[in-house]
Structure 1
Amino acid sequence: MNKLQVVIIEDEVPAARLLHLMVARLRPEWEITVLPGSVDEAVAWFGEHPHPDIIFLDIQLADGNAFDFLSVVHPKSVIIFTTAYDQYAIRAFTVNSIDYILKPVDETRLLDAIIKYETMQGTANGLPDDYLSTLLDTLQHKEKRFRTRFLISGVDRFWSLQVDDIAYFYSENKVTFAVTRNAQEYIIDLSLNKLSDQLDPDRFFRANRQIIVCIDAIDHAEPYFNGKLVVALRPPYKNKVTISEEKLSSFKLWLNF
């Protein structure tokens, strides 16, 4: 029986090494190849080698993204995505027979994805014929509508609060507040978890459990202790807004997206 062939395409060398170690530990019988996280180099490699059984594919590559790679190569492989972007998980990974893993990679979550692949391979149907085209259509879908306004209720009237006017949302004592650019505060009848699903991820980032910030509200960020960042907002937030070391890479990618 041929060894199962696995390729890892990841543009962060430490992340690639860690994923390699985890996969090798969970499935030591698999043959694993780590490619540079570059669209051009990955395309060149696939032009010269048989397509593997599985590709662990980073969404954001050094010279493009996973969609650029897939649309050129059309790999005959099962794709398991690795991503630091929660919005890709929300928007894109409802296609049957694929999976995604949020970075930093958790070994338990990785094992779940591997078992999903093995279960799928054990069925009679396997991958559908239109697997890749469906995947590309889903990943490139640009029509999802994000929330643009909120209905605010006052003592004797209602009015519409535009999302474009909001600098950040924060949670306090299980109540969610929206803070506008001119420092007005309004209660929003949604949790931060619900809001994360409804806001445009290109403009809003879940900094930590207490706050979601808009890109336009960020004045600057500076190093903080234990590998964290502290972010200054406009208007100022009453507490320090810290970005944990685990979220640091995704925050930097978001700022540069």
Structure 2
Amino acid sequence: MKIIIIEDEILVAEDLVSNLKQIKPDIEIVSVLSSVKEAVDYFSVNPQPDLIFSDIQLGDGLSFDIAKAIAIEVPVIFCTAFDEYALEAFRANGIEYILKPFSIESLEKALVKFQNMQKVMAGSIALKYEAAMATLEAKNKTSSSTIMIRYRDRLLPFTLDKIAFFCLENEITYMHAYSGKTYAMTESLEELEYKTGSTFFRMNRQFLVSRKAIIDATDYFPRKLKINLSFPFDKDIIVSREKRSKLLNWLTEN
């Protein structure tokens, strides 16, 4: 079985390769691609594999954009940490997925699903992606303007203009308010990314930052960007070169 992985987090991609090899040693990982552009360029000149594992949110866009440029003719299984609303979009359109962080068991089930898939399933895959993408974009545009924070035995409402950024530390998500207070949260950064919409940007695996909190961005070797906030913060927020152009476009538009 030939597989291509589309994932912009190197450690996640390596973990996926290792787990797949552990499940089926004869699996051939043909290539690991890290962006929409790289995937489009690759599929433009190379044959498609038997199966694709793909993250959804890549540094230069959503992986659905690949299907807009290239006719994908093989099944795709998405590795995602999306919230329940987004998963409903996949279920409604017959798109297979596994949840991050994935396990050996979930990958085994995904491979069994693939073996039971018929080739015809991929025939209308572009239409399935388009329908799911439209659902996700609609959700993004109508994102909530209030985030509920559980503090002890209370639920505290925070409007987005009171929140500077969300941060992942030791696998726990924290909300940092402009007031200087910090609160632990149960939601993942992926869930918050879709709740906050276009007013926040996913800088990297660790930070989701409000446009209002950013003064500017400066060059950071090599070809990366460093985010400068409007208040003191003792950690650097670095944006990868793959996300550089997307961030600059977002800063311009917002």
Shorter-chain TM range is 0.5 to 0.7
1:55 to 49, 52, 56: 52
Question: Where does structure 2 lack aligned partners over 5 or more consecutive residues?
Answer: 149-156, 168-173, 219-225
Alpha-carbon distance between aligned partners in 1 of 2:180 and 2:5, rounded to the nearest angstrom:
47
The offset of 1:11, in angstroms, is: 5.5
TM value normalised by structure 2: 0.55
Deviations 1:41-65, CA, capped at 9 Å, x for gaps: 222235xx3x433102244667765
Whichever residue aligns with residue 109 of structure 1, its letter is S
Matches within 5 A, 1:114-193: 114-119=108-113, 121-122=115-116, 127=121, 130-141=124-135, 142-144=137-139, 145-149=142-146, 163-164=160-161, 166-168=163-165, 179-180=177-178, 183=179, 191=185, 193=187
Residue aligning to 1:25: 22
Pick from 112, 116, 133: which aligns with 2:106? 112
Contact in 1 for aligned 2:6/2:52 (Cα 8 Å): yes
- Establish whether residue 66 from structure 1 lines up as the match of residue 63 from structure 2: yes
Match for residue 40 of structure 2? 40
1:80–1:101 Cα contact (<8 Å) kept:
no
CA distance in 2, matches of 1:11, 1:204: 16
Are the aligned partners of 1:8 and 1:32 in contact in 2 as well (CA < 8 Å)?
Answer: yes
Secondary structure in 1 matching 2:138: coil
Aligned to 2:6: 9
Per the alignment, do residues 234 and 15 of structure 1 end up closer, same or farther by CA in structure 2, a change over 3 Å counting?
same
Bigger share in helix: 2
Q: Tell me if the contact between 2:201 and 2:208 (Cα under 8 Å) persists in the aligned partners.
A: yes
* Overall identity of the aligned pairs, in %: 20
**What residue ranges of structure 1 are gaps of 5+ in the alignment?**
152-159, 171-175, 223-229
Does 2:97 align with 1:99? yes
Deviation at 1:147, TM superposition (A): 1.5
Give me the CA root mean square deviation: 5.1
> What amino acid maps onto 1:7 in structure 2?
I
TM-aligned CA deviation for residue 80 of structure 1:
2.3
User: Matched residue of 1:199: which SS?
Assistant: helix
The Cα offsets for residues 193-229 of structure 1, whole Å up to 9 and x where unpaired, read as 29826322651559999x964233145899xxxxxxx
Number of equivalences: 213
SS of alignment partner, residue 42 of structure 1: helix
Question: In the alignment, is the contact (CA less than 8 A) between 2:217 and 2:228 conserved in 1?
Answer: yes
Question: Per the alignment, do residues 60 and 5 of structure 1 end up closer, same or farther by CA in structure 2, a change over 3 Å counting?
Answer: same
Q: Secondary structure at the match of 1:20?
A: helix
Counterpart-to-counterpart distance in 2, 1:111 and 1:192: 24
CA separation of 1:112/1:92 partners in 2, compared to 1, >3 Å: closer, same or farther?
same
Residue type of the alignment partner of 1:42: Y
Between 1 and 2, higher relative CO (CA 8 Å, sep ≥ 6) is seen in 2
CA contact (8 A) 2:227 2:239 kept: no
